[in-house]
Amino acid sequence: MTQKEQQQLGKTLWNIADNLRGAMNADDFRDYMLSFLFLRYLSSNYEESAKKELGRDYPNLEENDNRNALSVWYAANEHDVPEFEKQMRRKVHYVIEPKYLWSSIAEMARTQNQDLLETLDKGFDYIENQSFENAFQGLFSEINLNSEKLGKTHKDRNDKLCVVIQKIAEGIKDFSTSSDTLGDAYEYLIGQFAAGSGKKAGEFYTPQQISSILSEVVTLDSQDPTTGPKKKLERVLDFASGSGSLLLNVRKRIKENGGSVGKIYGQEKNITTYNLARMNMLLHGMKDTEFEIFHGDTLLNQWNELNEMNPAKKIEFDAIVANPPFSLRWEPNEAMGEDFRFKSYGLAPKSAADFAFLLHGFHFLGTEGTMAIILPHGVLFRGGAEEKIRTKLIKDNHIDTVIGLPSNLFYSTGIPVCILVLKKCKK
């Protein structure tokens, strides 16, 4: 699919969102819209794989037969279903019951079925708790299908969902269902919603152009002029991962250079954004075993697994990227001064956690790895505790490059920012 078609799909979906959300604010409607797009992707992928798996046994329905082909097969082959689902778990890593597939849900919307809301609710619950081997609990936790924002009565809400789902189904039926296509459309929508919600958007969205620079920087050293690209970055981390687009960009970049990524790790404090990131990974065709996104506070280092994976040797990353919240106020206490991440450098001031984020990531950077982090321009010249940290980083030869960027690049702020590139072992 060409870039033009991908943009066209993004615009089509954005127009649907714009026309349908009515009085609902963009942030609320975003969660519905993106979840339906996600369900569409999972379903198409599942049905295509089922078709291959069943071969000539896959029901060939008449054009005017609106039933779901897989539900027809399930009804006729009850005894074979457990074995079939076992195979599907092996091949695509998940299972969806036919009644919860997008085509079944879209048909209910088309016929204004009054059970749509219940079916969708049960379907989301099924995907969260039963579809995947690694449970994706809470994936749809931010979507309240019984919210009064959708309508005052149960019938109003059901009718509104019918309209929304029908419009989305019609709008995207002629476009490809590949992970690249829907993944890019998802990214486009996240960007549009971010632009629409202004200040709040900085929490979860790094504009694509800046994301590309960071990805390029951390994968540069994986290309050796004589031997070509390193074949693999074992582990990549973003400890303030937002909707995950930065991590996906690094993966895309290394693949374009002929290499691969072992596993992607992300951490995100905001629950809505954390769910967006998990969906975003799957929508880009990643298997649930290829990434791990953790919900928790980076500054408090709540992700025990990072330290406990192998107590004798902490887990290290080949590439680290981050766009943490700028100059976040935080509450460091005395005990934190002894924290292994900050001990050698001192604590960032309460008024700005910028260097606390930087030191967190830097601690987990591998000897040969590269870290690129976006921070406000002030980290380059502010005094006090920040000056001490900055001086030690420079003296220890860990600052590889400083890239100054102009103002007004982010939805959340107009301030100028910089990218700091760090290495443990600077050549």
**How far does Cα 120 stand from its chain's mean position?**
22
pLDDT at 3 (0 to 100): 66
* 363-396 per-position pLDDT tens digit: 999 999 999 999 999 999 999 999 999 999 999 9
Q: Three-class SS of residue 40?
A: helix
Mean pLDDT of all residues in 7-24: 75
Dihedral over Cα of 300, 270, 285, 82: its sign: positive
* Of 321, 424, 314, 421, the residue nearest 368 (C-alpha): 424
Q: Give the C-alpha separation, 290 to 292, whole Å.
A: 7
The Cα-based distances of 221 to 90, 171, 298 in angstroms read 35, 42, 27
* Of 426, 376, 371, the residue nearest 404 (C-alpha): 376
* 50-60 per-position pLDDT tens digit: 999 999 999 99
Mean pLDDT of all residues in 63-71: 87
Give the residue extent of every domain in the chain: 3-198, 204-422
The Cα-based distances of 211 to 119, 168, 205, 216, 410 in angstroms read 38, 29, 9, 9, 12
Q: Three-class SS of residue 366?
A: strand
Looking at per-residue pLDDT, the higher value among 177 and 94 belongs to: 94
In the numeric block, which tokens belong to residue 54?
């069943």
Side chain identity at 258, as an amino acid letter?
Answer: G
Check if the beta carbon of residue 139 is closer than 8 Å to that of residue 279: yes
Q: Give the C-alpha separation, 97 to 425, whole Å.
A: 51
Instruction: Kindly report the CATH number that applies to the domain delimited by 3-198.
Output: 1.20.1260.30
* Of 341, 422, 369, the residue nearest 234 (C-alpha): 369
Looking at per-residue pLDDT, the higher value among 73 and 186 belongs to: 73
Q: Is the pLDDT of residue 311 over 70?
A: no
In percent, the amount of the chain with pLDDT more than 90 equals: 52
pLDDT at 375 (0 to 100): 94
Residues comprising the chain, all counted: 427
Q: Three-class SS of residue 369?
A: strand
Looking at per-residue pLDDT, the higher value among 405 and 175 belongs to: 405
**CATH entry, 204-422, from 2.60.120.460, 3.40.50.150, 3.40.50.12500, 3.40.50.970:** 3.40.50.150
Q: Give the C-alpha separation, 352 to 25, whole Å.
A: 31
pTM: 0.85
Q: Is the pLDDT of residue 173 over 70?
A: yes
Given this chain, do its domains 3-198 and 204-422 carry the same CATH topology?
no
Check if the beta carbon of residue 166 is closer than 8 Å to that of residue 106: yes
**How far does Cα 413 stand from its chain's mean position?**
22
Q: Give the C-alpha separation, 92 to 288, whole Å.
A: 10
* 192-245 per-position pLDDT tens digit: 777 765 544 444 567 778 888 999 999 986 655 555 555 689 999 999 998 898
In the numeric block, which tokens belong to residue 324?
């943490």
For 193, other C-beta atoms within 10 Å of its C-beta total 24
Query: 353 CB contacts (<8 Å, ≥6 apart)?
Result: 299, 324, 325, 327, 328, 329, 330
Mean pLDDT of all residues in 240-260: 90
Q: Is the pLDDT of residue 6 over 70?
A: no
For 62, other C-beta atoms within 10 Å of its C-beta total 7
DSSP 158-208: HHHHHHHHHHHHHHHTTS---HHHHHHHHHHHHHHHHHHHGGGGGGT---H
